[in-house]
């Protein structure tokens, strides 16, 4: 269904048990996580998840596969803004298909005003950071110095605005910097 709708590639999907002792996995990600590549997809699940929550994860991760499939850039070259946009486009895809009940908790952590301040103060000056810079992960996920799930939360607001001007299909191949400016 997703492959047809998004004109995506046919990739193998591997399903593994998730680490039940990982508190962050349970709190921030609802007991599920995944890893997506251009040519394969891995899902990590705790046993108590409903089919809808598993589907939400599949939507999110397969969306990554589709975006990676149309983006010629090497994944190791993804800047902070590239990663933020990729993550939150996928979460908006979950919202579009299943509604707000199935999106991640971080989508509601901050007010619009807070998100604007965070964007100006932390994201704009660091948009070009590469994964080898320690601030990359700290800005994406939050840390002692940055608000929890900072990059994800800011990105959700950015993509929400972009989706008022473009469709999800149009945004698939659009560079992250252009989506940020919409």
Q: Please state, in angstroms and rounded to a whole number, the distance separating the CA atoms of residues 12 and 53.
A: 20
User: Residue 28 has what pLDDT?
Assistant: 65
141, 151 in Cβ contact below 8 A? yes
Coil, strand, or helix at residue 36? strand
* Cα–Cα dist 4/30, whole Å: 27
Q: What is the pLDDT of residues 12-66, one digit of tens each?
A: 999 998 877 777 766 666 778 899 999 999 999 988 889 999 999 999 999 999 9
> Could you tell me the pLDDT band of residue 73, with boundaries at 50, 70 and 90?
confident
Instruction: State yes or no: pLDDT of 162 exceeds 70.
Output: yes
Instruction: Supply φ then ψ for residue 66, to 5 degrees.
Output: -65, -40
């Amino acid at each position: 269904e997703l492959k047809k709708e998004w004109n995506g590639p046919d990739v193998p999907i591997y399903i593994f048990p998730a680490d039940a002792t990982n508190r962050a996995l349970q709190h921030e990600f609802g007991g599920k996580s995944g890893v997506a590549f251009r040519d394969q997809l891995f899902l990590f699940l705790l046993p108590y998840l409903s089919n809808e929550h598993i589907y939400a994860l599949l939507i999110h991760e397969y969306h990554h596969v589709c975006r990676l499939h149309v983006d010629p850039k090497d994944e190791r070259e993804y800047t902070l803004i590239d990663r933020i946009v990729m993550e939150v486009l996928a979460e908006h895809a979950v919202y579009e298909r299943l509604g707000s009940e199935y999106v991640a908790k971080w989508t509601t952590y901050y007010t619009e005003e807070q998100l604007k301040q965070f964007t100006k103060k932390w994201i704009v000056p660091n948009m070009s950071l590469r994964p080898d810079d320690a601030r990359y992960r700290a800005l994406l996920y939050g840390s002692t110095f940055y608000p929890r799930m900072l990059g994800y939360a800011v990105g959700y607001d950015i993509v929400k605005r972009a989706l008022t001007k473009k469709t999800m299909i149009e945004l698939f191949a659009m560079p992250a910097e252009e989506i940020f400016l919409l």
